[in-house]
Structure 1
Amino acid sequence: MLIREATAADWQQIWPFFRTIVSAGETYTYPRDLDEPTARELWLLRPPGRTVVAVDDSGTVLGSAKMNPNHMGGGSHIAGGSFMVAPGHAGRGVGRALGQYALDWARAEGYRAMQFNAVVETNTRAVALWQSLGFEIMTTLPEGFQHPTKGFVGLHIMYRRL
């Protein structure tokens, strides 16, 4: 698996799994009916952000991540990130590789920490992955997310010092 900078041409492979994940409404706070142009604008970041893809030997996009300053101004020393793995490639280390890549990127860029603002508590695979990479749950916003089948569930804020 290779992780590299995402190009405009990669979007045609990202969009199908992005749309599937977002429209399911179980793990992201994006609107479930997010249109393609808006999704593309949200995901393919310009500097100082960065969007990457994980690809296999044939060039198939297995997953993608975007990394960026979590806030502006006085909060810009903390990195943020979002991650999506194509459902057919879940459980094969793609998310872990993207997560480690994001941490290495943030450290190299001089960030002091990384924070995830909205990890849905019922997304137990993601929560476990982030914890295994050294993130802590700093707090949970009770009923901060409306899950399509589980109702109102918490949103974790997760943090790791670099």
Structure 2
Amino acid sequence: MLIREAAAGDWPRIWPFWHRIVAARETYAWDPDTSEEAARALWTGPGKRVYVAEDDTGAVVASAYVTANYGGPAARVANAGFMVDPDHGGRGIGRALAKHVLAAAKADGYRSMVFNAVVETNPAVGLWTSLGFTVLGTVPDAYEHARHGPVGLHIMYRAL
């Protein structure tokens, strides 16, 4: 697997799984009806470093971005988003991409990373805790999950 910074031509390979994941209403707090243009702005907008993971065939199977979570004197706190194509889950791609992004964020001078809205039923919560993230708090019933109904959103943190 190759993990690299995304190029402009990668978006058409990210969009199909981005749309599928967001439309499922199970892990991301973005509108399931987000247009492709708006999705691209959310994922690749100004100030974001975007990465992709390619499998052995060169297919883009995952993507992540890193950006400052806050501005000004708090700009050394990173935020990130991660998506693995559901057809390629369970193969360690998310873990490899997460380790890569955490190292890159640290190298870029970030001191910590915060996730603002991790759906508490998201299987990735286990990944994040195994990589040293802690749950700082949970906003109860903040997310309308497609299968579970109202569930909480975790705020997660890790020092870099």
Query: Which band: TM-score by shorter chain?
Result: over 0.9
Partner of 1:159: 157
Q: Contact between 1:45 and 1:51, CA under 8 Å: does it hold in 2?
A: no
Q: How does 1:59-78 map to 2 (within 5 A)?
A: 59-78=58-77
Computed over aligned residues only, the root mean square deviation of the Cα atoms, in angstroms, reads 1.0
Structure 1 residue matching 2:30: 3-state secondary structure? coil
How far apart are residue 72 of structure 1 and its match?
1.3
Q: Contact between 1:45 and 1:66, CA under 8 Å: does it hold in 2?
A: no
Partner of 1:145: 143
Structure 2 residue matching 1:91: 3-state secondary structure? coil
Partner of 1:83: 82
How far apart are residue 102 of structure 1 and its match?
1.3
Q: How does 1:1-162 map to 2 (within 5 A)?
A: 1-47=1-47, 49-123=48-122, 125-162=123-160
- Distance in structure 2 (CA, Å) of the matches to 1:126 and 1:149: 17
How far apart are residue 56 of structure 1 and its match?
1.5
- Distance in structure 2 (CA, Å) of the matches to 1:75 and 1:100: 23
Structure 1 residue matching 2:142: 3-state secondary structure? strand
- Distance in structure 1 (CA, Å) of the matches to 2:40 and 2:23: 15
Structure 2 residue matching 1:62: 3-state secondary structure? strand
How far apart are residue 45 of structure 1 and its match?
3.5
Work out the percentage of aligned pairs sharing the same amino acid: 53
Q: Which amino acid aligns with 2:86?
A: P
- Distance in structure 2 (CA, Å) of the matches to 1:118 and 1:53: 22
- Distance in structure 1 (CA, Å) of the matches to 2:45 and 2:88: 23
- Distance in structure 2 (CA, Å) of the matches to 1:91 and 1:20: 17
Question: Which runs of no fewer than 5 residues in structure 2 stay unpaired?
Answer: none
Q: TM-score, normalised by structure 2?
A: 0.96
Structure 1 residue matching 2:39: 3-state secondary structure? helix
- Distance in structure 1 (CA, Å) of the matches to 2:74 and 2:26: 28
Q: Contact between 1:6 and 1:44, CA under 8 Å: does it hold in 2?
A: no
- Distance in structure 2 (CA, Å) of the matches to 1:34 and 1:139: 28
Aligned length: 160
